[in-house]
Amino acid sequence: MVVEGTVAQLLPDGTAAAPSAAPVAVQQAVWAANKLQDKPYKYGGGHAKIEDTGYDCSGTVSYALIAAGLLASPLPSGPFTRWGEKGKGAWITVYAHGGHAYAVIAGLRLDTSSYASRTARKRKVIASTLERGPRWRTTMRPSRGFRARHPLGL
């Protein structure tokens, strides 16, 4: 599904609609990540095989980037700190340190951690965004301690 504009929108079923103004690679990353929304967290998931029964944090990020043609094979969290270009991207930013990775794609956070601020917990949110596992999150999380990286041109 596609929505007008430059920001992805979380749908009631927990999937995301890609923004119409986004480059094709960004839309493909969004649609790929939608396929993971019902998968459980699985340590090492998405690394030995791309299509897996569950995904860890870096396996989730890798899945979306591989589907978008932006990554050749899955990476663990640590190597994501050196992947791509330094800093935030216009469309996709991967945040990583040695123990965790997540991505912000077209304004939505793709993460296995249900981190949500106290303010966000008080708002009415789609229940799946508070579950552990590969999910779209409407709230951001502090990026302190993470390195921001992005694919060239995005």
Residue-wise pLDDT tens digits, 28-84: 999 999 999 999 999 999 999 999 999 999 999 999 999 999 999 999 999 999 999
Q: Which CATH number fits domain 2-150: 3.40.630, 3.30.1490, 3.90.1720, 3.40.1400?
A: 3.90.1720
Q: How many CA atoms lie within 13 A of 63 on its CB side?
A: 32
Question: Is the confidence at residue 24, as pLDDT, over 90?
Answer: yes
Residues 53-72, buried b or exposed e (16+ Cβ, 10 A)? ebbbbbbbbbbbbbbbebbe
The DSSP call for residue 55 is B
Residue-wise pLDDT tens digits, 100-149: 999 999 999 999 987 754 444 445 555 454 567 999 998 889 999 999 99
* pTM for the full predicted model: 0.90
Q: How far apart are CA 29 and CA 39, in angstroms?
A: 16
pLDDT confidence of residue 138: 83
Sketch the domain layout of the chain as residue ranges.
2-150
Q: How far apart are CA 78 and CA 50, in angstroms?
A: 18
The DSSP call for residue 152 is T
pLDDT confidence of residue 124: 52
Q: How far apart are CA 101 and CA 65, in angstroms?
A: 13
Question: Is the confidence at residue 88, as pLDDT, over 50?
Answer: yes
